[in-house]
Structure 1
Amino acid sequence: MPDPRFSVLSPDFATDPYRYFGRLRDRSPVHYEPALDSYFLSRHRDVRRVLTDHDAFTTRTLQVRAEPVMRGPVLAQMTGAEHTAKRKIVVRGFTGRALQEQVRAIRSIAAELVAPFLPVGRMDLVEDFGKPFAVQVTLEVLGLDRRDWQRVAAWLGGVGEFITSMVLTPERRRHCLDCAEQLEAYLAPVIEQRRRRPGEDLISMLCTAEFDGIAMSDRDITALVINVLIAAVEPADKTLALLLKHLIDHPEQLAQVRRDPALLPAAIAETLRLTPPVQLIPRQAEAEAVFAGTVVPAGATVFCMIGAANRDPGAFTDPDTFDLHRADLGTARSFTAAAQHLSFGAGLHQCVGAAFARAEIETVAELLLPLLDRVRFGPGFRYRESGLYTRGPVSLALDFTPVREAAVGGPAGG
């Protein structure tokens, strides 16, 4: 039976949800949250079942949770031929030659953003670097002006709040919708211009692509562009900060990665497993379903608890430990549909940007680690995370050996 004394909306859970995952899996693997009239699943096998059975558990909830701020249906809402065609278009924008160009842009933007902090030997990896980096890289990929990153970041903050908030006041709801409307208005002239004179960027690809012989509408393109913005920006700075946090906490593994950068993908995969930036994925039960002896009624909203599933001892050995050498993860498959962890989702609606996410974090970590010699947490720094739906460090104050300005152009150039 659900534990009436426990709530995923409690301040204690918000402070450290990982403390509660074991208890949920063991005692209440199907946790009912009365305030939300929703069910929370925490076991790996149950979460995978929901994410891969697309007929029984649909993305219908996104009509209410995402579509109003996405300004149209997103990829996860689509099925059949439409989903296949539009997913292929977006995937094409993050693979092959396009991805090679993006890696160059990632490295260049990262070098530019980190340069002012290197002579000082101190920076906040989240506020000073991660947030501007994640937004600017995504704008570059889409073919938008990087100088607009602060405005775009503010609008995305409202869009993200709408999608990820469990409870929204009328005032916050209005603010979020205003942000979405301003973002849509910002994108409209760009889409019109790319239709007339397409380039090599992702917006141009969407403008020139066809589905069933018909070009996509401005509404379709706007929704897909906002979809990409949110999906690419939201997890990137969190994953980078979590990776550095885990490596600093495990100096022997940090030393191994420094000696052998080929271990970086394993460290990134393990970071995603242990502390996934996306913690909850919602679905709707189309028919009555039973999990661990508990009936979930037809029409109910089901939240897949990715953080809990990724730490299920039924799926991983010693699951609460950061170990980039773990045999039950598999680096090569961790960024594919065959991944054992569920941080990119699973099945038909698995994250389209998994390959890009790997390339992005790997590229920036390869650049930063040689520069951040003797990296450590800043004096008096107290680590804190926030977020229920998406989760990551509030800040990450780092001290490191200052780099002479003359040397900055060397390692960071590339």
Structure 2
Amino acid sequence: MPNVDARPSILSDDFAADPYSSFAWLREEAPVHYEPAIDSYILSRHQDVRRVLTDHEAFSTATLQERAEPVMRGPVLAQMTGAEHTAKRKIVVRGFTGQMLQQQIRAIREDAAEILAPFLARGRVDLVNDFGKPFAVYAALDILGLDKADWQQVAGWHGGVAEFITSLALTPERRRHCLDCAEQLEAYLAPVIAQRRREPGADLVSQLSTAEFDGIGLTDRDVTALVINVLVAAAEPADKTIALLFKHLIDHPGQLARVRQDPGLLPAAIAETLRYTPPVQLIPRHVERDAVFAGTTIPAGATVFGLIGAANRDPEAFADPDTFDIDRPDLGTARSFTAAAQHLAFGAGLHQCVGAAFARAEIETVAAMLLPLFDQVRYSPGFEYRETGLYTRGPASLCLDFTPVTESVVP
């Protein structure tokens, strides 16, 4: 049995309340941190996390067979390798690029305007619960070509799927709830997939339903898994990152003023938000053969988690890493949404997040809309900021006041 670190568990309430204050200790004193409750190792140094994410032979995604496949209803992109991964990833990526992306940006503007409209005259909005969560699901449904009238139902099912994937410990009751959500989502998608096979359109469900791999069409199970994969990838980080972006800019009024004056700085602000407070904080891998980190051997067969939040604040990778700085020279905005990104918010290597380019367009489009509307933006009186989540993390709410908008907003 590995030695247990004296530091409180990362599963503790104290860590959940403020993981950032423990990151330096983990990197310096326990870079290979064993968690007995989940029989897993936690890596926190940037070079170690990047190694795990990019060495696909030594560190596989086999853990997803238990962590994701039951609720995805089949294998997801991150489980695939070789020609299958290349072909299926290419099909999905086509839905996020070129003309498809331009259509999605128009839909993003329309969705954002529709959801935000009731709050503009009030001059007050919870950017997470009033706007971010419904918007993220709207945007994902637009990509897939699903009916936005069903967004609340789909959001509920998505919540159960995401809970299953991101929970480190589920009670039997919560596990059953999550699996029920996945089964209901699969049943909802089945007639849609059948209809798109008969009458394909320009949406991603149609592309997947009519695609072929090695000359053979994808099965309903294949399409369902990829659709749920896209739904989670498109919806899960969006509301968190939008809220975190505004939180950091409000906390740094000088940088907020500069971004208002020059929207060309938005990509840098988004990239720095992803580095500083990544919405996905943990990424698991299966150790295929004994591996040594910081003098400690992690045995073959073990589960290892890359602690993205700690890696993104490693002083070996970023100068003054605990400071939010949109002028940071060591981030590289142009590459921050690609596989060459210095930060690890989208993962790295072969299984880097398939929706990274879409996430940039989505968050950038929404932020560019909101900044001029949120004149004199500030926290609402009495608001107390709190983050939740260990695997994925973001604000529980972000209650903002701003100068009310009296004219209608046309996207």
- TM bucket, shorter chain: over 0.9
| Deviations 1:302-343 (CA, angstroms, capped at 9, x unpaired) | 000000000000000000000000000011000011100000
Q: 2:184 maps to which residue?
A: 182
| Deviations 1:275-314 (CA, angstroms, capped at 9, x unpaired) | 0000000000000000000110000000000000000000
Deviation at 1:208, TM superposition (A): 1.1
Q: 2:22 maps to which residue?
A: 20
8 Å CA contact 1:283–1:302 kept in 2: the answer is: yes
| Cα distance in structure 1, aligned partners of 2:241 and 2:172 | 31
Q: 1:204 maps to which residue?
A: 206
| Cα distance in structure 1, aligned partners of 2:356 and 2:162 | 19
Is residue 63 of structure 2 the alignment partner of residue 50 of structure 1? Answer: no
| Cα distance in structure 1, aligned partners of 2:82 and 2:8 | 40
Q: 1:121 maps to which residue?
A: 123
What SS is found at the alignment partner of 1:32?
strand
Q: 2:258 maps to which residue?
A: 256
Instruction: After TM superposition, list the pairs within 5 Å mapping 1:13-412 onto structure 2.
Output: 13-404=15-406, 407-409=407-409
Deviation at 1:2, TM superposition (A): 4.5
| Cα distance in structure 2, aligned partners of 1:156 and 1:141 | 15
Identity of aligned residues (%): 77
What SS is found at the alignment partner of 1:247?
helix
What SS is found at the alignment partner of 2:408?
helix
| Cα distance in structure 1, aligned partners of 2:170 and 2:125 | 33
| Cα distance in structure 1, aligned partners of 2:177 and 2:53 | 31
Q: CA RMSD in A?
A: 0.7
What SS is found at the alignment partner of 2:336?
helix
Which amino acid in the other structure matches residue 132 of structure 1? P
| Cα distance in structure 1, aligned partners of 2:88 and 2:203 | 16
Which amino acid in the other structure matches residue 310 of structure 2? A
8 Å CA contact 2:4–2:36 kept in 1: the answer is: no
Deviation at 1:141, TM superposition (A): 1.1
- Moved segments of 4+, more than 3 Å: none
Which amino acid in the other structure matches residue 78 of structure 1? M
8 Å CA contact 1:2–1:30 kept in 2: the answer is: no
8 Å CA contact 2:141–2:147 kept in 1: the answer is: yes
What SS is found at the alignment partner of 1:335?
coil
Unaligned 5+ residue runs, structure 2?
none
| Deviations 1:342-366 (CA, angstroms, capped at 9, x unpaired) | 0000000001111000000000000
Which amino acid in the other structure matches residue 397 of structure 1? C
Which amino acid in the other structure matches residue 121 of structure 1? G
| Deviations 1:2-30 (CA, angstroms, capped at 9, x unpaired) | 42342011000000100100000000000
| Cα distance in structure 1, aligned partners of 2:139 and 2:83 | 30
What SS is found at the alignment partner of 2:34?
strand
What SS is found at the alignment partner of 1:256?
helix
| Cα distance in structure 1, aligned partners of 2:338 and 2:408 | 35
| Deviations 1:144-202 (CA, angstroms, capped at 9, x unpaired) | 00011100010111111111111111111111100000000000000000000000000
| Deviations 1:181-238 (CA, angstroms, capped at 9, x unpaired) | 0000000000000000000000000011110000000000000000000111110000
8 Å CA contact 2:96–2:355 kept in 1: the answer is: yes
| Cα distance in structure 1, aligned partners of 2:191 and 2:358 | 27
Which amino acid in the other structure matches residue 197 of structure 1? E
What SS is found at the alignment partner of 1:243?
helix
Which amino acid in the other structure matches residue 290 of structure 2? E
| Deviations 1:58-100 (CA, angstroms, capped at 9, x unpaired) | 0000000000000000000001100000000000100011000
